């Protein structure tokens, strides 16, 4: 399949899981600044928590996460002590016990935690934040790490949503990315989760990997469908070897080109859409009854560092090395290096390395970008109602784009600016229209196809 727009739009732009994006974070956000932000959180509003476990038992060459390979448990055990200390430290700076609407354990591989340590982590969180039956507690799972004891521990800890990375089931592709994981192994874990009462199952797929073709991607899509997940994320592999040195182990000569990537993405999206999944944003799919699909239908879909989400809280607190917090005042990121992170929190200090304080203009542009990414549309009336005359900055950007781009990706229909059906695969480019920082600084991004 040859799409004439692909060559024009297969250029690097952000994924817009934040605005401003991470390359524009700076050292003006200090531990003291973040402490003040935490202390200003109101008692009557819930927060979300993200906890980062930056360890894996092997390094997948495609991975873009902050993680490291370990062969022994001792480094994980030591890191857990620091993470628990940070939970207490952050809660102390807040000054009152807040409700947690969502808790997400990410990595790395959180399932490398031993059962007793997973229970201890959730217990300590519950000591400092209010966990209710309505709290969504999710965990990223590597099937290679799972044992029956760990499955029992996941259920006993109150975890009610699980996310499994599949990437691709083709053995040739798996060997090329150092990620060996069979369909049977994955199904066994999912069956075990369901037997334990965890029925909310997310599965992640990738396209654009070495040796992938449209046919091979569709074969994996069929196998994913057989797993019967409630949500599917279909991500394009982000080849960023200048950021992630281990990606240099991937043979670039067997990576699909932009046209092939586009064809793979469209074929898989069509397949999932034709088999009972509602498309969500640019790269997610959900069963119609799933809360993500409900949020999308109701115009309540949100976007954060985990991608598309139902999380509507104003404050997301990131805990662990490299984690990023989003508070009403701005973003704050922890130190990336685990040793430095541990040294800071064990010394009673917040481990903040950088961030950005949000201006009034940032809030307007962030809102416009999020609605474009989530709804493929912007309402002029809604923007005026929220931001008054300051919304004119958004209208000017939209109107200039309409006047200078004739590819049929974006239109104005009465009160609404809309991304067309043709434009949806290129929505990151439409969102970039409203990015006032895009051409400032030296940030590098993955291609948007």
| Tens digits of residue pLDDT in 181-199 | 999 999 999 999 999 999 9
Local confidence band at 246 (pLDDT 50, 70, 90 cut-offs): confident
* φ, ψ (nearest 5 deg) of residue 311: -70, 110
What's the mean pLDDT in 352-365? 98
Q: 3-class SS at 351?
A: coil
The total of other beta-carbon atoms located within 10 Å of residue 40's CB is 13
Residue 96's Cα: distance from chain center in Å? 28
Residue 304 has pLDDT above 60, yes or no: yes
Query: How confident is the model at residue 445, as a pLDDT?
Result: 52
% of the chain exceeding 70 in pLDDT: 97
Query: How confident is the model at residue 435, as a pLDDT?
Result: 97
What's the mean pLDDT in 72-81? 97
Closest Cα partner for 133 from 96, 163, 160, 162? Answer: 160
What's the mean pLDDT in 169-176? 96
Looking at the chain, the number of H-run helices and the number of E-run strands are 15, 20
Q: 3-class SS at 331?
A: strand
CA–CA gap between residue 89 and residue 317 (Å, rounded):
12
Residue 362's Cα: distance from chain center in Å? 21
CA–CA gap between residue 113 and residue 164 (Å, rounded):
16
CA–CA gap between residue 236 and residue 339 (Å, rounded):
31
Query: How confident is the model at residue 245, as a pLDDT?
Result: 87
CA–CA gap between residue 424 and residue 302 (Å, rounded):
17
Query: How confident is the model at residue 5, as a pLDDT?
Result: 85
| Tens digits of residue pLDDT in 328-343 | 999 999 999 999 999 9
CA–CA gap between residue 302 and residue 307 (Å, rounded):
8
Local confidence band at 448 (pLDDT 50, 70, 90 cut-offs): low
Looking at per-residue confidence, does 95 or 443 come out higher?
A: 95
User: Do residues 146 and 189 make contact, with C-beta atoms less than 8 angstroms apart?
Assistant: yes
Average pLDDT, the chain: 94
CA–CA gap between residue 262 and residue 256 (Å, rounded):
10
Phi-psi region of 158 (alpha: psi -120 to 50; beta: other; left: phi over 0): left
- What letter would DSSP give residue 9? H
The pTM assigned to this predicted structure is 0.94
User: Do residues 362 and 103 make contact, with C-beta atoms less than 8 angstroms apart?
Assistant: no
User: Do residues 325 and 351 make contact, with C-beta atoms less than 8 angstroms apart?
Assistant: no
| Tens digits of residue pLDDT in 390-416 | 999 999 999 999 999 989 999 999 999
Structure tokens at 160: 């009610």
Query: How confident is the model at residue 53, as a pLDDT?
Result: 97
- What letter would DSSP give residue 250? S
Residue 443 has pLDDT above 60, yes or no: no
What's the mean pLDDT in 241-249? 85
What's the mean pLDDT in 25-54? 97
What's the mean pLDDT in 39-64? 93
Cα dihedral 106→108→112→117 (10° resolution): -50
What's the mean pLDDT in 273-290? 97
Domain architecture of the chain: domains with CATH: 21-357 (3.80.30.20), 360-432 (1.10.10.920)
Taking CA atoms, 1 is separated from 5, 213, 255, 320, 324, in Å, by 12, 12, 17, 43, 39
* φ, ψ (nearest 5 deg) of residue 326: -120, 110
Structure tokens at 117: 């340590």
Residue 394's Cα: distance from chain center in Å? 26
Residue 70 has pLDDT above 70, yes or no: yes
What's the mean pLDDT in 68-75? 93
Whether the bond between 108 and the residue before it is cis, its omega within 30 degrees of 0, is yes
The HSE-up count of residue 85 (CA atoms within 13 Å, CB side) is: 18
User: Do residues 15 and 335 make contact, with C-beta atoms less than 8 angstroms apart?
Assistant: no
What's the mean pLDDT in 9-31? 93
Residue 22's Cα: distance from chain center in Å? 13
Local confidence band at 1 (pLDDT 50, 70, 90 cut-offs): very low
Residue 226 has pLDDT above 70, yes or no: yes
């Amino acid at each position: 399949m040859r799409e004439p727009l692909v060559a024009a739009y297969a250029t690097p732009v952000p994924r817009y899981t934040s605005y401003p994006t991470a390359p524009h974070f700076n050292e003006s956000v200090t531990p003291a600044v973040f402490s003040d932000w935490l202390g200003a959180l109101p008692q009557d509003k819930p927060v979300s928590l993200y906890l980062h476990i930056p360890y894996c038992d092997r390094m997948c060459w495609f991975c873009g996460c902050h993680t490291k390979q370990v062969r022994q448990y001792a480094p994980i055990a030591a890191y857990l002590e620091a993470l628990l200390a940070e939970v207490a430290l952050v809660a102390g700076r807040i000054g009152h016990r807040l409700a947690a609407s969502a808790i997400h354990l990410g990595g790395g591989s959180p399932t490398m935690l031993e059962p007793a340590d997973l229970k201890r982590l959730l217990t300590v969180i519950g000591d400092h934040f209010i966990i209710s039956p309505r709290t969504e507690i999710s965990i990223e799972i590597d099937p290679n790490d799972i044992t029956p004891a760990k499955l029992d521990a996941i259920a006993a800890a109150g975890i009610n949503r699980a996310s499994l990375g599949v990437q691709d089931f083709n053995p040739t592709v798996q060997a090329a990315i150092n990620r060996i994981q069979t369909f049977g192994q994955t199904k066994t874990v999912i069956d075990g989760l369901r037997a334990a009462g965890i029925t909310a199952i997310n599965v992640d797929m990738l396209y654009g990997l070495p040796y992938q073709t449209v046919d091979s991607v569709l074969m994996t899509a069929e196998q994913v469908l057989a797993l019967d997940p409630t949500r599917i994320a279909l991500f394009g592999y982000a080849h960023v070897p200048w950021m992630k040195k281990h990606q240099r182990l991937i043979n670039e000569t067997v990576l699909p080109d932009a046209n092939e990537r586009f064809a793979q993405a469209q074929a898989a999206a069509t397949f999932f859409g034709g088999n009972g999944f509602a498309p969500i944003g640019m790269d997610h799919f959900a069963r119609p009854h799933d809360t993500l699909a409900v949020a999308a239908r109701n115009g309540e879909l949100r976007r954060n560092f985990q991608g598309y989400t139902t999380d509507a809280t104003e404050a997301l607190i990131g805990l662990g090395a490299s984690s990023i917090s989003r508070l009403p005042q701005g973003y704050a990121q922890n130190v990336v290096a685990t040793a430095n992170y541990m040294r800071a929190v064990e010394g009673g200090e917040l481990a903040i390395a950088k961030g950005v304080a949000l201006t009034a203009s940032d809030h307007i542009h962030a809102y416009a970008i999020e609605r474009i990414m989530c709804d493929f549309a912007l309402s002029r009336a809604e923007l005026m109602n929220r931001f008054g005359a300051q919304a004119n900055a958004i209208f000017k950007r939209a109107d200039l784009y309409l006047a200078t781009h004739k590819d049929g990706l974006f239109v104005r229909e009465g009160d609404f600016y809309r991304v067309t059906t043709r434009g949806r695969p290129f929505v990151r480019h439409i969102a970039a229209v409203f990015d006032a920082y895009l051409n400032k600084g030296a940030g590098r991004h993955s291609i948007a196809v």
